[in-house]
Amino acid sequence: MFNLSDTDLDKNIISFGDGPASFNSELNNANKKCISVDLIYQFSGAKLKERFEVVKNQVMKQVRNNTDNFTWKNIKNPDELEHLRINSMTNFLKDYEKGKIEGRYINHALPNKLNFEKQTFNLGLSSHFLLLYPNLGVDFHIQSLNEMLRLCK
């Protein structure tokens, strides 16, 4: 999605609002490092899995009802999307408790300041987070972006 090169993947990476995704686990398996930040990391893996099962059917129903609003190029159809997301969640859950102990999954709510010095990271990522919650308002987004930019080169 971000079209990251091998050189990018070797950088010191932080991902904001990373959720139950497998990017962190995949990088860790490749002996590379990413710090994921999300407020859902306050919950146990079992709780997150339970929640995922409930939300999955709602989300997939919405996707299937709105297929014309998506570009089905890399992912061919809603079934493939569902399959990919389940795989991703499964990989995340396998890695989650260990990754938390190692400090790779940090429970934190933006725009609060994270406990890192400025410019700690070479690269900051954010997917499906900014502008996803319009009700949080403009100030939330500006403050969150300021914190991201404080931390990342």
Stretch that binds ligand SAM, among 5-13, 14-22, 47-55, 99-107 (CB under 6 A): 14-22
5 vs 22: CA distance, rounded Å: 18
Q: Is 109 in the site for ligand SAM (CB under 6 A)?
A: yes
Binding to ligand SAM (CB under 6 A) within 23-42 occurs at 38-40
**Is the CB of 19 or the CB of 124 nearer to ligand SAM?**
19
Q: Nearest to residue 92, comparing CAs of 125, 128, 45?
A: 45
Q: Is 127 in the site for ligand SAM (CB under 6 A)?
A: yes
129 makes contact with ligand SAM (CB under 6 A): yes
Segment 1-4 long-range contacts (CB within 8 Å, at least 24 positions apart) = 1/127, 2/125, 2/127
Query: If DSSP codes are grouped into helix, strand and coil, which group holds residue 122?
Result: coil
Point out which residues bind ligand SAM (CB under 6 A): 17-19, 21, 38-40, 109-110, 127-129, 132
